[in-house]
Amino acid sequence: MTSSTTPPASVPEKIRHYINGEFVDSIDGEEFDVLNPVTNEPYIKAASGRKADIEAAVASAKAAFDEGPWPTMLPRERARILNRIADIVESRKDELAAMESFDSGLPITQAKGQAARAAENFRFFADLIVAQVDDAFKVPGRQANYVNRKPIGVAGLITPWNTPFMLESWKLGPAIATGNTVVLKPAEFTPLSASLWPGIFEEAGLPQGVFNMVNGFGEEGFAGDSLVKHPDVPLISFTGESKTGQTIFANAAPWLKGLSMELGGKSPAVVFADADLDAAVNATIFGVFSLNGERCTAGSRILVEESIYDEFVERYAAQAKRVKVGLPSEESTEVAALVHPEHYEKVMSYVEIGKTEARLVAGGGRPEGFETGNFIEPTVFADVKPDARIFQEEIFGPVVAITPFSSDEEALELANDTKYGLAAYIWTSDLKRAHNFSQAVESGMVWLNSNNVRDLRTPFGGVKASGLGHEGGYRSIDFYTEQQSVHINLGEVHNPVFGKQ
């Protein structure tokens, strides 16, 4: 037995909801099995929430918002609690990463990196609200105006299963930093690490009712859907598939809710012949195989200039074959197990489709020695045509499509030729080309000669089917606050008088 088959010691007996400061079961007692991705055996039960559970959680969050003290506390006081949260997350980083890796199949070293990032998210938003400056505008002698930022109310946070804890922190940090109260609906495939939030928040001194969590499914009648349709939840921050985003958009429409949507991607990595080839190969390997390829910003389409195409494909395939597939718990593992058998089947079906559409140059099957669980070899297809499904559709696994191009114009056309627009990566030593390409590429984010590293101050979001709105830095503060303009008469404002006589 290894630690990838035995749950970490701190795994609770059962995963419950957390409402108004208490762990509770579903009102109807419903539960579901959570699977270990290495064996696909159920290892724990989780409460499956529905409308009644969401109603209880929203009532708790609304009372905490209406009755305070959280929304009216000084930013400095809230920041102190956020910093404590960051300290606790940091101090429990190893335990947290072990749970995350066990539950999601992420390699342990990468799960540790995600845990550190989660702590950083709280610290960052603590700093930001203390340093927050509100706009003020003056018309000399006539009028002064200032912007009154206010928390909005109960924020509904709906998250996916890839890097679950980090993505939850990415929403929880700014939502509570700005004085809102929240109901979190974690992804049903990976509810384990979220079960740590209540203890962390209680220890940090977050007032009761500010954080609530309902586990379970997203579809109609279940927890996610009920949260979106609850009239007392004016804000929904969602990360997940583009198709789910469309459903949520429609379901939130009757209330005109505030929506932030971080959705799917099929991001291009464009490698020109003048690029530093070593750096480009290393970065594009990491870009699609890290996090098991379950990364929204994965550079899953690599476009390579014709003159270096054969050399690139050869080097890329050779390096992909050396990527270490292993158990999630092993420090040397680079790619581990996909999250769930349903997702595994989906990724494998794309591998089979790819074999009929393009040239397989690495991987394409189950790795030797891993007869059970959701393991897949890092898989590389070359000569992929733009109308191929593996070029157009998000696979969300360790599978990459490589396509040649012969001019800058063709590279741009190919880069923009999908419905998505999340990220783009450009590799060239020609700065002018790099900047011009960034201007023209249809993506929310561009990395030039760079791996996917992100400064927390920068806006994060996608265009086209990859998202709606931005979070990150001040954009998160904007999303989670109302901006009320206050106009002050300084004595000489033009005031037309109607009906004087």
Active site residues: 262, 296
Type of residue at 446: V
Nearer to ligand NAD, 187 or 388 (CB): 187
Give the number of other CB atoms < 10 A from CB of residue 341: 14
Q: How far is the CB of 285 from ligand NAD (least distance, A)?
A: 19
Nearer to ligand NAD, 272 or 447 (CB): 447
- The residues that touch ligand NAD, with contacts defined as CB under 6 A, are 158-162, 185, 187-188, 217-219, 224-225, 228, 239-241, 244, 247-248, 262-265, 296, 394, 396, 422, 462, 467
Give the number of other CB atoms < 10 A from CB of residue 33: 10
Which residue in 339, 394, 331, 336 sits closest to 367, CA to CA? 336
Pull the structure tokens for residue 267: 């991001």
Q: How far is the CB of 440 from ligand NAD (least distance, A)?
A: 21
Distance from C-alpha of 432 to C-alpha of 439, rounded to nearest angstrom: 11
Pull the structure tokens for residue 139: 């018309």
Nearer to ligand NAD, 92 or 230 (CB): 230
Nearer to ligand NAD, 271 or 422 (CB): 422
- Asked if 175 and 140 count as a contact pair (C-beta separation under 8 A), the reply is no
Q: Beta strand pairing status for 379-382 and 359-362? A: antiparallel
Q: How far is the CB of 300 from ligand NAD (least distance, A)?
A: 10
Q: How far is the CB of 432 from ligand NAD (least distance, A)?
A: 30
Q: How far is the CB of 70 from ligand NAD (least distance, A)?
A: 25
Nearer to ligand NAD, 168 or 305 (CB): 168
For helices 108-131 and 164-177, the axis angle rounded to 10 degrees is 10
Nearer to ligand NAD, 160 or 287 (CB): 160
- Asked if 156 and 181 count as a contact pair (C-beta separation under 8 A), the reply is no
185 beta partners:
158
Q: How far is the CB of 368 from ligand NAD (least distance, A)?
A: 28
Q: How far is the CB of 426 from ligand NAD (least distance, A)?
A: 19
Residue with the CB atom nearest ligand NAD in the bound state: 218
Strands (E), 353-434: 359-362, 379-382, 399-405, 423-427
Nearer to ligand NAD, 91 or 458 (CB): 458
- Asked if 415 and 392 count as a contact pair (C-beta separation under 8 A), the reply is no
User: What H or E segment, with its residue span, contains residue 268?
Assistant: strand 268-271
- Asked if 395 and 300 count as a contact pair (C-beta separation under 8 A), the reply is yes
Distance from C-alpha of 213 to C-alpha of 311, rounded to nearest angstrom: 51
Residue in the structure block whose two tokens are 């992909």: 320
Q: What is the DSSP string of 282-316?
A: HHHHHHHHGGGG--TT---EEEEEHHHHHHHHHHH
